[in-house]
Structure 1
Amino acid sequence: MDLPTVWFVAIAVLWTGYFVLEGFDFGVGMLLPVLGRGDDPAHRESDRRVVINAIGPVWDGNEVWLITAVGAMFAAFPAWYAATLSGFYLPLLLVILALIGRGVAFEYRGKVDDPRWRARWDVAIVTGSVVPAFIWGVVFANIVRGVELGPDGVVTSSLVDLLNPYALLGGITTVTLFVLHGAVFLALKTDGPVRHRSRAVARRAGPVALVALAGFLLWTADQHGVPVIPAAVSVAALLAAFVLVLRRREGWSFAATAVAVAAFTAAIFGSLFPVVLPSLVDPAFDLTVASAASAPYTLGVLSWIGAVFLPLVIAYQAWSYWVFRRRVTRAHVA
């Protein structure tokens, strides 16, 4: 493969890593009020701390994948980066604000021993999880569908244009997929009441996520074309995850949801190639891997940098997951 194609694949891998890892902690954040409930205020607060502590050591590290993916787009495909971030300015601004609020909430929630104080920050955690989960689905659905891109590389699509039915289904798909991913993660990572509730949520969320995922991929295949293998793998893995949840095989179920998210992302990027941003104005204005790429020298330098540092980042994150692999229970937050 030539360097532009190599870097398109590399960016697809980075976004895949982001959705697989950040996907489950978005799901955990969305499920905070569902799993941290109870008549006893003390137990309710303990369970919410269990939920938060399950992702406490890793959530900020997962966001490194987003920074790296966007940075790689800027360096390897500046025209793609410029058109995407300007064309989706408002949705991406909402993502940034939501992520900031979510991060602050994790840090400040426990600073004051006051139920009302914690309740406000819980709202920020839920909002900061739902908004990015939904918007990323909307954004990538629109990237597949195409935007009003002119010959000058400027996107003129309005917010109303971006909220089309196909994109809204994309947002629903990512939300439901991440909810299931997060519920299975908590069933694997916790014990006690939170674990039992997580299993129950996963059993209810599985069919919804499966219908949304299958519907979105079928629509994509019909209107835009989608690689058959990753699409089929995604649906099959999600079905397997649901069956494994019913059998209480949390480890294998989490692996299956991770495969489902990864294959879903691969299907999205596979349906794009070799176009990175289709134009609804005229196919001649499409941004392609070749037309949007940086100079060969720049891509060559990036390749050496990526070859050295990416394995180090992956090794460090794998080590952190191994260190914090034990289940979290009420006893750990008492």
Structure 2
Amino acid sequence: MHLHDVWFVLIAVLWTGYFFLEGFDFGVGILTRVLARDERERRVLINTIGPVWDGNEVWLLTAGGATFAAFPDWYATLFSGFYLPLFAILVCLIIRGVAFEYRAKRDGERWKRSWEQAIFWASLLPALLWGVAFANMVHGVAVDSGKEYAGGVLDLLNPYALLGGLVTLSLFTFHGAVFTALKTLGDIRLRARALAQWLGLATVVLAAVFLAWTQAHTGNARSLVALVLAVAALLSALLLNRAGREGWAFVSSGAAVVATVAMLFLALYPDVLPSTLDPAWSLTVSNAASSAYTLKIMTWVAGFFTPLVLLYQGWTYWVFRRRIGVQHIPAPSKAVPATVAADQP
């Protein structure tokens, strides 16, 4: 196996880790407007991901940086051709981070609701757009002989890509609902479990259609195995969630995310960005890769730092492993009327 093949696998692992981790916190962000009934329940949901959401985004930075360094032509064509959707994702991630930090800076109800709306939309749109982007990457786009994207934005909104967006949206929301049931107490936990059942059923249908379409278009024996594992993991998550085995249900929903992303990369290889204009113009792991020396240096750096990052992030999840509920959230303080405040000495 050549180093460019190794780095294709490593980049696939990084994107898979990102979608596994960021997937459930996108889902929780969406549930703040779907599941939560009042401000205290929204605070419970936000607090379940509060200590970890920013660490989850490190996987995106690492995956993007690794793609840039290991496959510069892939990075350049992908990020120039998908500029608007990727820019929209970036804006959403910025707004989402600001919303988490600024929401509690003032006590005004309108202030908090505005930032809560921002959390919802800035979680929903990336969950949708990532699926659109990756579906287009697997299906192929108009790459010309100069390795440039020759299509337009509307070309990215084809039926296959839109279905891919719905799959990631439903899958991440289901993953987030299972995570919420795992991390909360009381009534919100029970409602999260019930909602996860409906979300899981919708996800199974959408994912089965999308993955079967992918298999028929660009699949192989390896991707077929991943397809079967993805569907099996989704069904397992549904059964375990219904039985109240939230920890194992979360493991299964996470396995469904992993198997789904793995199938896309397995169906894509050895291409990294197929051309719909001429297969000879497709970007592959060999013609889009950096030099062997660059890949060798990157391998040594990754081998040293990756275990440290994994240990630190694992420790973070262990420290913040306990469940929380509305009983841990103080009731919102009522503002003192101005006329009363004026009479105080």
TM range (shorter): over 0.9
Partner of 1:28: 28
C-alpha distance in structure 2 between counterparts of 1:193 and 1:110, whole Å: 24
Partner of 2:272: 276
User: Please, which runs of 5 or more residues in structure 2 have no aligned partner?
Assistant: 331-345
Is residue 121 of structure 1 aligned with residue 82 of structure 2? no
Residue 240 (structure 1) aligned to one of 232, 236, 240 = 236
Structure 1 stretches of at least 4 aligned residues deviating more than 4 Å after TM superposition: none
Is residue 148 of structure 1 aligned with residue 142 of structure 2? yes
After superposition, give the CA deviation of every residue in 1:100-139 in whole Å (9 maximum; x if it has no partner): 1111110011111111111111111011101110000000
C-alpha distance in structure 2 between counterparts of 1:32 and 1:201, whole Å: 13
Partner of 2:165: 171
Partner of 1:191: 185
1:203 deviates by: 1.2
1:73 deviates by: 0.2
Partner of 1:211: 205
Is residue 326 of structure 1 aligned with residue 322 of structure 2? yes
1:331 deviates by: 2.5
| AA matched with 2:49 | I
Is the CA contact 1:147–1:155 (under 8 Å) kept in the aligned structure 2?
Answer: yes
Partner of 2:95: 101
C-alpha distance in structure 2 between counterparts of 1:206 and 1:84, whole Å: 31
| AA matched with 2:191 | R
C-alpha distance in structure 2 between counterparts of 1:194 and 1:22, whole Å: 21
After superposition, give the CA deviation of every residue in 1:235-268 in whole Å (9 maximum; x if it has no partner): 0000000011110110000000000000100000
Partner of 2:219: 225
C-alpha distance in structure 1 between counterparts of 2:77 and 2:110, whole Å: 42
Q: TM-score, normalised by structure 1?
A: 0.97
1:332 deviates by: 2.1
Bigger Cα displacement from structure 2, 324-333 vs 3-12: 324-333
Q: TM-score, normalised by structure 2?
A: 0.94
C-alpha distance in structure 2 between counterparts of 1:57 and 1:264, whole Å: 27
After superposition, give the CA deviation of every residue in 1:124-157 in whole Å (9 maximum; x if it has no partner): 1011101110000000000011110001111022
1:47 deviates by: 0.7
Partner of 1:132: 126
Is residue 256 of structure 1 aligned with residue 252 of structure 2? yes
Partner of 2:289: 293
Is the CA contact 1:35–1:51 (under 8 Å) kept in the aligned structure 2?
Answer: no
1:34 deviates by: 1.8
Q: Per the alignment, in what secondary structure is the counterpart of residue 276 of structure 1?
A: strand
| AA matched with 1:326 | R
C-alpha distance in structure 1 between counterparts of 2:136 and 2:270, whole Å: 16
C-alpha distance in structure 2 between counterparts of 1:103 and 1:279, whole Å: 35
